Amino acid sequence: MSNSYLSGSSELEKAQQTQKERFPWVLQRLERSVNRIDMDKIETTDLLTVPLANSLQRYNDFNGINNTVIVYGGKRITNQTVLDAVRKAIEHGKPFHVSDESLGGVVNNRKRKSAAILCRHRGLLKARWAPESQALRFDTDITEAHCEKHDVMSQSLYNALLPKIFSGRKWKFSRDFLRPSEKASGLCKSIHIRLRMAGGKLEGVKAKKGEIVDFAKFGPSKIRRL
């Protein structure tokens, strides 16, 4: 077997690993990337679901519409029963299983389908993605963030934290997510974050400026696959 073949296989494996790590969080980066969406290295999943969900959410934002966006297998889901069930899962912090039956009863035997959901909830744009037969993890979320008893939850903080919680990575606490007026006031020498994990368990995380928070104990090994 040639070295070039081995090298090519190695690069493909790296690309696939990168895809696995990054793809679920493409949706949650919408607030950071207004004009484009990162779709490189997507080779093994439903190519239409994420960009369609992205486009529909941008349309909603542009027109001041507050609808929940649900896309499954590259098709928009508008069934009111499904919309209500998904919204209930979001409101109550419950996982939502992805299947033909749960998303409208439309049987589609095409392989590698996935579901993407975007919704406004408590002032934040929240996004979840999952392949068929797995669950959209609304049970795992960030519920609060306070600095010296001031509510500092923001879209930028939510977007920065959520992927690290799910993947069990580290996060260095800085004041970058604060508004200029909050920075000027000296707010946020420390932060207290409240997390809701699988099963409804609440966890608290505290850090001082410059400290590194290790979310490993909240990572994939602690999130049950449904």
Same domain, 201 and 160: yes
Residues 35, 116 within the same domain = yes
- The verdict on 35 and 54 lying in the same domain is yes
| Radius of gyration from C-alpha coordinates of the chain | 19
Q: Verify that 211 and 178 share a domain, yes or no.
A: yes
Domain coverage including residue 168: 141-222
pLDDT digits (tens, 9 = 90+) for 79-120: 999 999 999 999 999 999 999 999 976 566 666 788 999 999
pLDDT in tens, the chain (226 residues): 444 444 445 665 665 565 555 555 556 554 444 333 444 444 444 678 888 898 899 899 889 999 999 999 888 999 999 999 999 999 999 999 999 999 976 566 666 788 999 999 999 999 999 988 999 999 999 999 999 888 989 998 898 888 888 888 888 888 887 777 777 777 888 899 999 887 778 888 898 888 888 888 765 444 444 4
pTM for the whole structure: 0.74
How many domains does the chain divide into? 2
Domain boundary at 78, 113, 136, which? 136
Please tell me the distance from the alpha carbon of residue 14 to that of residue 76, in angstroms, as a whole number. Answer: 32
The string of DSSP codes covering 1-53 is --HHHHHHHHHHHHHHHHHHHHGGGTGGGTTT-SS----TT--SS-TTHHHHH
| 128 plus 148 within the same structural domain | no
